[in-house]
Structure 1
Amino acid sequence: MSDVATHTIAVSPWQDFKEITKMRLSISVVFSSVAGYFLGTSEIDWAIVAMLAVGGYFMVGASNAYNQVLERDLDALMDRTKNRPVASGRMSVKTALGIAILFTILGLATLFYINPQTAMFGGISIFMYVLLYTPLKTKTPLSVFVGAFPGAIPFMLGWVAATNDFGIEPGTLFMIQFFWQFPHFWAIGWFLFDDYKKGGFFMLPTGKRDKGTAVQVILYTVWTILISLVPAFGVTGGLFLSPIAAIIVGGLGVFMLYWAVKLYQKRDAATAKKLMLSSVTYITLLQIVFVVDKFLR
């Protein structure tokens, strides 16, 4: 009975929709964009927040749908992805492309209604993710560097949505999320190394789970912490972090750095997974701390 029920859920249209748009990832991206909006706005307009959330979801969902169409044959080779709608054959390429194109149009239109710059950065994100990052994943570890650009856009996108301006403040938010992605994705690439290898993906900087990769994980974790604390020094315009908030962010950074050092020491999949979880905790709580700190001042 339970096996049949599980199978039914796995192939339900709703489940396939969640898979093709990577709903959990998309929601986390929306969260990041909304946090950026709260940081940039002087007065919260909930209609803009709603449009940013919906438009952001459409854009991320479109990117993921395009990605699953392009990588369907490789996805079928990996345990982690073989049950995705297109890779498993449950959803046709035509249907997936239709979803991707529809979401692209709706996403760009929604973000454009907020302001043109927001739509422009949303479009750049899709372009870089689909046409640059996706094909490079099977060719070079530098794909993570390329993918960090569209991945870093959401946090700063919210600020641009609030101000219709790109300056030092959204640039700083971009850099925080840009550097954060390296230890985050290298941790994933480490504990999923064997599965990624089946699909021919090159995710780790040295191509191996070795000391060289672990050292780079530590270095980029340190860079992430440092750039996250820059707003505390009053050099990032309207983006500011109070001393207490900076101490909290620094503490979160030490927690993440602890697992990065542990990975260097142990170099095993279990520690890499803990680093990945600590990185998700770091970026989520950092965004909350930045927003709460602004509204408490």
Structure 2
Amino acid sequence: MRPGAGPISTLQDYWELVKPEITFQVVLAALAGFILGTTGSPSPALLVLTLAGTAFASAGGGVLNHYIERHNDALMRRTAQRPLPSGRINPGIALVFGIILVAAGLTLLWWVNLTTLLLAALTIVLYLFAYTPLKRRTTYNTLIGTIPGALPALGGYTAATGTVGPAGWILFGMFALWQIPHFLALAWMYRKDYARGGHAMLPAKNPEAKATAHRILVYSVLLLGTSLLLPLLDYTGWIYLAIIIPAGIGFIWPSVGFHQKQTATQARRVLLASIIYVPILVAAITADHWLL
């Protein structure tokens, strides 16, 4: 920690380490899975255990990711001022902090059920030891990263049901597909920085922007198609359908714009649409569950 750092700034640094934006998205994914898998009124205690355990495990994984990538982060303008590469927090302390958070999260999920615990553990292992190192080796890292990125949704479903079911796998597929345009838009916006940091992101490795734009559009369309499987197979009703179709079109629209014209403005629109999509999805599943 830097000399003279005050308690407020130190707390802000630790808060940054847990990757709050990603942790929030992960918790939303788990909530979507839990509500989708719930029959009748959910158990408040089970829901709290599931979301708290997921949050702690995700936060711990974020801290450990900061620890693993601290040297590469120092090479990128966007990440050079993070707590570890800037020297504001000691790497050893961050390592212990991350392990404690993961342990706390997995302990809470142990009280949920074994399947959910194992899915959370698998998520952390794949995130730290598959996706993270592959970011510097292959442009397929984004595709591989969709697995740990989508598992929390499946974990939320198993928390409610105790088992993996078709509806859970459909939701898993939705979150996997959602991540591709989300991260490709972000990677395109910071492609030079990613290249400087040695990351093998498609926009950094492939100078042809159309390749990135094509994938963003294809996966946005696939997301809408996959989202329709839930009502088609009678896992959700018309309220979900009435919400998710406009949300899907709202995601595809900026993807079409980026496909036509690859600019920072269009990429930001794709990114914003992806960020908005997840809470809308959760709201659609929740409203459908409670109102039908």
TM-score tier by shorter-chain length is over 0.9
Matched, 1:241 2:207: no
Matches within 5 A, 1:67-216: 67-204=65-202, 207-208=206-207, 210-216=209-215
Match of 1:34 among 13, 31, 35: 31
CA contact (8 A) 2:35 2:285 kept: no
Matched, 1:276 2:267: no
* Inter-CA distance 14–165: structure 2 relative to 1 (3 Å threshold): same
Whole-angstrom distance in 2 between the partners of 1:248 and 1:69: 40
Match of 2:283 among 265, 268, 288: 288
More deviation in 274-283 or 28-37? Answer: 28-37
Q: Percent identity?
A: 32
> Which letter does structure 1 place at the counterpart of 2:107?
A
Structure 1 residue 31: deviation in Å?
2.2
> Which letter does structure 2 place at the counterpart of 1:219?
V
Structure 1 residue 18: deviation in Å?
0.9
Structure 1 residue 47: deviation in Å?
1.3
Whole-angstrom distance in 2 between the partners of 1:74 and 1:20: 15
Counterpart of 2:58?
60
Unpaired runs of at least 5, structure 2? none
SS of 2:146's equivalent in the other structure is: helix
How many corresponding residue pairs? 287
Match of 1:19 among 16, 21, 31: 16
CA contact (8 A) 1:9 1:15 kept: no
> Which letter does structure 2 place at the counterpart of 1:217?
I
CA contact (8 A) 1:241 1:290 kept: no
State the TM-score, normalized to the length of structure 2.
Answer: 0.93
More deviation in 116-125 or 56-65? Answer: 56-65
Structure 1 residue 285: deviation in Å?
0.3
Structure 1 residue 79: deviation in Å?
1.9
SS of 1:114's equivalent in the other structure is: coil
CA contact (8 A) 2:149 2:175 kept: yes
Matched, 1:250 2:245: yes
Structure 1 residue 209: deviation in Å?
5.1
State the TM-score, normalized to the length of structure 1.
Answer: 0.92
SS of 1:214's equivalent in the other structure is: helix
Whole-angstrom distance in 2 between the partners of 1:233 and 1:27: 29
Q: Deviations over 1:193-216 (max 9, x none)?
A: 122121111222763351122111
More deviation in 259-268 or 78-87? Answer: 78-87
Task: State the Cα RMSD in Å.
Answer: 1.8
Whole-angstrom distance in 1 between the partners of 2:198 and 2:8: 27
Unpaired runs of at least 5, structure 1? 1-6
CA contact (8 A) 2:153 2:175 kept: yes
Structure 1 residue 159: deviation in Å?
1.1
Q: Deviations over 1:152-198 (max 9, x none)?
A: 01222111111110010111110010111101110111111122121
> Which letter does structure 2 place at the counterpart of 1:228?
S
